[in-house]
Amino acid sequence: MSRRDWQVPVLTYHASTVGGPDYAGNDHVAFASDLATATRLGWRIVPLQWVVEQRLGLADRDLHRCLALSCDDGTVLDVRDVDYPGHGPQASFLGALQAQAGQPDRHLTCFVIASPEARQRMDRDCLHGLGWMDEDWWAPALAGGRIGIGNHSWDHNHPVMAGEGPPDLVRGDFHVIDSDARADHQIRQAADYLAARLGQGTCRLFAYPYGHAPDFLVRDWFPRQGAALGLQAAFGTQGGAVGPDSDPWHVPRYVCGLHWSSPQQFEALLAGLD
């Protein structure tokens, strides 16, 4: 494959997916297994930022047999081992990543939800009220060098925030973010918050909640406003590898549990891109 024809799969996990001890239904088990598989098969883990720089022509690296890692929704389970109620000890994504000593460029981008109020409500209503969606881990994780923090919107337009925010906003869907006011509320507000907490220019990547990428954002708002917010790319969940023709405002990702659910399927996914 020539360098012009590069393609890189971006894998997506959710640390809150803990449904049992098995690969299917536990993203911690899947993540550790997939990293071991990728390493065994000679795939190289690279930062998601490298994939974006390649697509934008800001870098020209050899990305043959490379993959990038991301995880969505931002809980402390991304970086810290926890005892999960009912399911016992869960190894963090960061721990599994650090264990892959043969991968010098290994890196994981965590797409986090900015609003403290939304995180508090989700932690209470959707998790176990143990403070897992606090933001105290963001800065130390960044400083450790193996983690990037990305923008996963202000409040995920999540149903826990029903009645808050712009009037008449239907929750539980990101396709409804179809106006300047709604985009400012969900994306600009999050970008400003993350920049204030972590530094200007730190969070350059966005991931669409629910994988919903409204035409308004992809074709209109991001091309107009993205650069001014320091954003370089926005990621969906539509499957497929990133390549020279990917839309920077709707970059594809593969999602664990959606596009593959077993070590065999993961190996087949990689083999299909080789």
Q: List residues near Zn ion by CB under 5 A.
A: 72-73, 209
Closest CA to 79 of 136, 137, 129: 137
**Cβ proximity to Zn ion, 34 vs 72, nearer residue:** 72
**Is residue 51 within 8 Å of residue 242, measured between CB atoms?**
yes
Tell the smallest beta-carbon distance from residue 73 to Zn ion (Å). 4
Q: Angle at Cα 84 formed by Cα 83 and Cα 87, nearest 5°?
A: 110
Tell the smallest beta-carbon distance from residue 153 to Zn ion (Å). 8
Closest CA to 222 of 153, 145, 155: 153
Beta strands in 21-163 (DSSP E): 44-45, 66-72, 82-84, 88-90, 108-112, 147-151
**Cβ proximity to Zn ion, 47 vs 236, nearer residue:** 236
**Cβ proximity to Zn ion, 107 vs 158, nearer residue:** 158
SS3 83: strand
**Cβ proximity to Zn ion, 73 vs 155, nearer residue:** 73
Closest CA to 210 of 183, 237, 190, 186: 237
Tell the smallest beta-carbon distance from residue 95 to Zn ion (Å). 22
Tell the smallest beta-carbon distance from residue 72 to Zn ion (Å). 4
**Cβ proximity to Zn ion, 12 vs 232, nearer residue:** 12
Tell the smallest beta-carbon distance from residue 211 to Zn ion (Å). 8
